[in-house]
Structure 1
Amino acid sequence: MAESTILMVDDEAEIIQLMNIYFNNEGYKLLHASNGLEALKILQSHHIDLIVLDLMMPKMDGMQACMNIRETNSIPIIMLSAKGQDIDKIAGLSIGADDYVTKPFNPLELIARIKSQLRRLNQFNSVTTNPNEIHIENVVINIASHVVTVDEQEIKLTPRQFALLHMLAVNRGVVLSMDRIYEEVWNEPFMESKNSVMVHIRKLREKIETNPREPQIIKTVWGIGYKIENDSKTRGE
């Protein structure tokens, strides 16, 4: 198996030095950034398998860095923070973090969580061999042909329904607000158009969900918007 590269974004040198020892023992390659801006630059020039991202940092904090990364990248992110309140964890997970570890942490626990995320990523990649396809449970989205199948049966989606499904799929694990969905899919400013988004979500669920009244693919995050879970099972698992 190829060596996994971990990007650890933290301004505490002692933590970096300590985790470098554990990463070396596990056969991981460590890259280090001391703030979010440095992390974004590293992502542009290196292949990264997983990011460990501290919340409190100078120049660009972990929250802003996570949101910027999630605009273009679905790489697993484990967030670190000295804040252990549930509201802080919810905030981190809602913007796209895959896991959350509270400081001070046990290095072995962090290693275990990294292994879990990498294992999930490898399982996903092993069954998603076509770069033009996204597999989510029993749904396959072919980006190139704009064909969507459910249980290997093609379903008909309108261009807007396809754009909506594709947007949710490429942002798996990220809660997308109604205004962001509307502005990107409808390509016009959001003007209290929640009903338009809700109607299209409902019609999309009727076509891809086994039971649209209890959706397992497109989840509602009340008061915020919608998301497709990052750990949804892919075909073949």
Structure 2
Amino acid sequence: MSSSNKKEGLLEMKKDLVLVVEDEVEIGDLVKDYLLSEGFEVLIATDGEEGIRLFHKSKPTLIVLDIMLPGLDGIEVLRMIRKESTAPVLMMTAKKSETDKIIGLGIGADDYITKPFSPRELVARIKAQLRRYKYYGDPSEGRHTLSFNELEIDEKGFTVMLAGEDVNLSAKEFQLLKFMATYPGQVFSKSQLYDQIWGYNHYGDLNTVTVYIRKIREKIEPDPAEPIYIKTVWGVGYKFDGSA
């Protein structure tokens, strides 16, 4: 085999690395076994501090993060991750409160799953998140920049700029903004937006869309209370105003 073919083979064999931050050893080991059987590389952290350390050291492709952790909890770990990475984060929670789930999603989580859960469902959700992340972050030549007055959405670079300044969006925030900006003037219901970004077979709270819209507005609107880009169409949903 030529050296170029060997190099191509090594690139093809590169695996996605999943960091699992879970203090219950049995759950962590179970998740690891299932992910290894599906061809992933896996690292396990049993508390928040170790999770952050491994995150900085290994730069994982995706993070599975428990909310309830000893010491540094999952919400704080997520905040720290989101300061420097848009890698997908799937949160695990044993709580039934929808408030906890929305809080997690509102600060940048991409998905959540409630304990007890099926390991196969977890793996399926991880694969779905990676497909979406790689698609929206694909630096292919077909991507371009969407420009609206002072707002620029770089589909190729997976970045957003407002008046020449970088806007730090999570992966899901970027996907939602990019999708709406691709169809300026078109009104989408919360259900349509949820299905497009999170998947029609994903079971969750439609208020997640409301939380994400609010977060995006706080980052791109001159006055979030009087938005010029993402507008509410009362009784219907939301639209992106391309004439802003």
Same fold (TM over 0.5): yes
Displacement of 1:45 after TM fit? 1.3
Cα distance, 1:81–1:215 mapped onto 2, change above 3 Å: same
Provide the residue aligned with 1:50 in structure 2: 62
Cα distance, 1:47–1:161 mapped onto 2, change above 3 Å: same
Secondary structure, counterpart of 2:137 in structure 1: helix
Provide the residue aligned with 2:127 in structure 1: 115
CA RMSD after TM alignment: 3.7
Provide the residue aligned with 1:35 in structure 2: 47
Displacement of 1:39 after TM fit? 1.2
Counterpart selection for 1:75 from 87, 105, 108: 87
Counterpart selection for 2:223 from 182, 198, 213: 198
Counterpart selection for 2:146 from 135, 139, 143: 139
Q: Which shifted more, 34-43 or 2-11? A: 34-43
Provide the residue aligned with 2:164 in structure 1: 162
Unpaired runs of at least 5, structure 1: 152-158, 186-195, 219-237
Q: Which has the higher contact order (CA 8 A, sep 6+)?
A: 1
Provide the residue aligned with 1:215 in structure 2: 239
Displacement of 1:140 after TM fit? 6.2
Pair 1:9 & 2:21 matched: yes
Cα distance, 1:177–1:65 mapped onto 2, change above 3 Å: farther
Cα distance, 1:13–1:199 mapped onto 2, change above 3 Å: closer
**What do the CA deviations read for 1:28-81 (whole angstroms, capped 9, x no partner)?**
011011112111111211130000000001110001100111111111000001
Secondary structure, counterpart of 2:86 in structure 1: coil
Secondary structure, counterpart of 2:167 in structure 1: helix
Cα distance, 1:101–1:172 mapped onto 2, change above 3 Å: closer
Within 2, Cα distance between the matches of 1:69 and 1:167?
Answer: 16
Q: TM-score, normalised by structure 2?
A: 0.62
Pair 1:60 & 2:67 matched: no
Within 2, Cα distance between the matches of 1:45 and 1:107?
Answer: 26
Unpaired runs of at least 5, structure 2: 1-11, 156-160, 174-211
In 1, are the aligned partners of 2:22 and 2:44 still within 8 Å (CA)? yes
**What do the CA deviations read for 1:180-215 (whole angstroms, capped 9, x no partner)?**
x5xxx9xxxxxxxxxx93079845x2xxx7x89743
Provide the residue aligned with 2:31 in structure 1: 19
What is the aligned length? 180
In 2, are the aligned partners of 1:161 and 1:200 still within 8 Å (CA)? no
In 1, are the aligned partners of 2:110 and 2:171 still within 8 Å (CA)? no
Displacement of 1:125 after TM fit? 3.1
Misfit runs of 4+, over 2 Å: 124-130, 146-151, 159-163, 168-178, 199-203, 211-218
Secondary structure, counterpart of 1:198 in structure 2: coil
Secondary structure, counterpart of 2:91 in structure 1: strand
In 2, are the aligned partners of 1:70 and 1:171 still within 8 Å (CA)? no
Within 2, Cα distance between the matches of 1:96 and 1:27?
Answer: 26
Q: TM-score, normalised by structure 1?
A: 0.63
